[in-house]
């Protein structure tokens, strides 16, 4: 028996979906358990960290150095990126006296921030705060995309 517009046998479709899920699982698991510097920088950008250190503040060529680079590099050096940058960054925000990500980045550049990987309830609080910040960034991206689509007419990018 075939159904749908393509006339495919539903049993074959189900079997194909099961096989595809099984084939994709190792790749999905790899993505869940590994990160890159670029992913961690993008996470900080989505959470609202922008701008750069002024010339001479640690920039090797005398130019500016993006704050996301400053913070991600410090986290990588101090605790590693195996667990991402968000946990140590938001733990520092929640337990330190920095008002926001930019102040944290400024102090990081000056060597005044020591990142640690939190555990237990502290990790849960940091994870929750980081997720809220990144979700707000994603919402802003979605809102701008909808505004562009409305302004320019939907071109298939929703």
What are the sequence ranges of the domains in the chain? 1-34, 36-152
The rounded distance, in Å, linking the Cα atoms of 57 and 67 is 11
Q: pLDDT digits over 57-100, tens only?
A: 555 556 689 999 999 999 999 999 999 999 999 999 999 999 99
Q: What is the mean pLDDT of residues 132-142?
A: 94
Q: What is the mean pLDDT of the chain?
A: 89
The values of phi and psi at residue 57, to 5°, are -90, 65
Half-sphere exposure at residue 28, Cβ-oriented, CA atoms within 13 angstroms: 6
Look at residue 53 and give its three-state secondary structure.
strand
At 56 the pLDDT is: 59
At 48 the pLDDT is: 95
The rounded distance, in Å, linking the Cα atoms of 9 and 14 is 9
């Amino acid at each position: 028996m075939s159904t749908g517009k393509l006339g495919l046998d539903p049993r074959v479709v189900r079997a194909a979906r099961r096989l595809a899920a099984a084939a994709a699982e190792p790749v999905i698991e790899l993505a869940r358990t590994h990160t890159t510097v670029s992913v961690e920088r993008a996470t900080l950008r989505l959470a609202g960290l922008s701008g750069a250190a002024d010339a001479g503040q640690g920039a090797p060529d005398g130019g500016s150095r993006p704050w996301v680079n400053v913070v991600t590099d410090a986290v990588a050096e101090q605790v590693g990126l195996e667990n991402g940058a968000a946990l140590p960054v938001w733990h520092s925000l929640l337990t330190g006296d920095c008002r926001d990500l930019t102040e944290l980045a400024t102090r990081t550049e000056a060597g005044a921030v020591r990142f640690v990987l939190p555990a237990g309830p502290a990790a849960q609080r940091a994870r929750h705060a980081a997720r809220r910040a990144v979700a707000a960034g994603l919402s802003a991206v979605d809102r701008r995309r909808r505004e562009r689509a409305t302004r320019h007419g939907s071109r298939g990018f929703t």
